[in-house]
Amino acid sequence: MEDRTSDRKNPIVDIENLKKSFQDNLVLEDVNLKIPKGENVVIIGQSGIGKSVLIKCMVRLIEPDDGKIEIFGQNIPTLGKDELNTVRKRIGFLFQGNALYDSMTVRENLEFPLIRNKLTKNKKDLEARIYEALDNVNLRKAIDLLPSELSGGMKKRIGLARTLILKPEIILYDEPTTGLDPITSKEISNLIINLQEKYNTTSIIITHDISCVRLTANIIHVLRNGILYKSGKYNELKKSEDPWINNFFN
Ligand SMILES: Nc1ncnc2c1ncn2[C@@H]1O[C@H](COP(=O)(O)OP(=O)(O)OP(=O)(O)O)[C@@H](O)[C@H]1O
Ligand SMILES: [Mg+2]
């Protein structure tokens, strides 16, 4: 995998001293993270440690308490509503648990972000974008199904297709493979990599799945006690003598 260390001076995401508490629950104490364009960053850490909170702060689904979150050169916490919406259109979010609309077919689920953001010129264009999105995840055949008629792996794929349909420059993946069998999970990880290469997106991937870490990560950050406690490539962290880190990998 490419080393993008030299791009770190000019990051697409630049987080400094990010803090977030809920009442007396201090979740993020001092998070610092620079991400160069095109890098796949994986964040690991124990359940409840604040991984989802961190990426939700990046798009202000959760309001951070303090710190800088610069994305595309704009400081997210200081943006007004319209500016924030403009930035959000450039960032895809694959939620933990898909968040497909149960009463809508796959086609309607995919149409929704395009129509809401007024991003289609006409019916033909809409149709073409939906088929492109479905082909990206090899699920053209699912177009008229409801989410209840999809398997867990298919739901993840459709969630991914819906995230990609807006052609985001950054994608935040919250546990994209959780709950899937090892083979389907590897398929999803490979899909993430293929789509990342095809569209040159920058990705932040939260996962507990060590095969997903191995397949997708250019760099891994370990979140612990409110900070990014350790960072490194897969092979470096796997060899770590720190028992706490080692636990994740073995
Ligand atoms: N909206 C909220 N209001 C209050 N507390 C919250 C809120 N969202 C998250 N928290 C708290 O923040 C902490 C971190 O939660 P978070 O969802 O980020 O964990 P996580 O690392 O993503 O865990 P998991 O691996 O289980 O998904 C938890 O203690 C949680 O209860
Ligand atoms: Mg989470």
Q: What is the DSSP string of 74-94?
A: EEGGG--HHHHHHHHTTEEEE
In ligand 1, which atom is closest to the CA atom of 49? 21
SS3 109: helix
Decide: 96 and 175 in contact? Cβ < 8 Å: yes
Tell me what pLDDT residue 3 has.
52
Q: Per-residue pLDDT tens for 160-195?
A: 899 988 889 999 999 999 888 899 899 889 989 998
Q: Is the pLDDT of residue 10 over 70?
A: yes
Query: What is the dihedral sign for C-alpha 86, 52, 93, 17?
Result: positive
Reported as a single tens digit per residue, the pLDDT across 55-105 is: 999 999 999 999 999 999 999 999 999 999 999 999 999 887 778 999 999
| Centroid of ligand 1 to alpha carbon of 226 (angstroms) | 12
Burial 50-70 (b: 16+ CB within 10 A, else e): bbbbbbbbbbeebebeebebb
Residue 237 CA, distance from chain mean position: 21
DSSP state of 18: E
SS3 117: coil
Asked whether the predicted pLDDT for residue 7 surpasses 80, the reply is no
Predicted model pTM: 0.91
Q: Considering only CA atoms, which residue is closest to atom 2 of ligand 1?
A: 22
Ligand 1 in reach of 53 Cβ (< 6 A): yes
pLDDT at 115 over 90: no
Q: What number is the average pLDDT over the span 134-142?
A: 93
Q: For residue 225, what are the CA distances in angstroms to 26, 129, 210?
A: 9, 43, 21
Quote the tokens at residue 109.
Answer: 């689920």
Q: Domains in the chain, ordered, with CATH?
A: 5-249 (3.40.50.300)
Cα angle: 97, vertex 175, 20; to 5 degrees:
95
Separation of alpha carbons 177 and 205, rounded Å = 10
Distance CA 77, CA 67 (A): 8
Mean pLDDT over each residue of the chain, to the nearest integer = 91
pLDDT at 2: 52
Q: What is the average per-residue pLDDT within 147-152?
A: 92
Residue nearest to atom 14 of ligand 1 (CA): 50
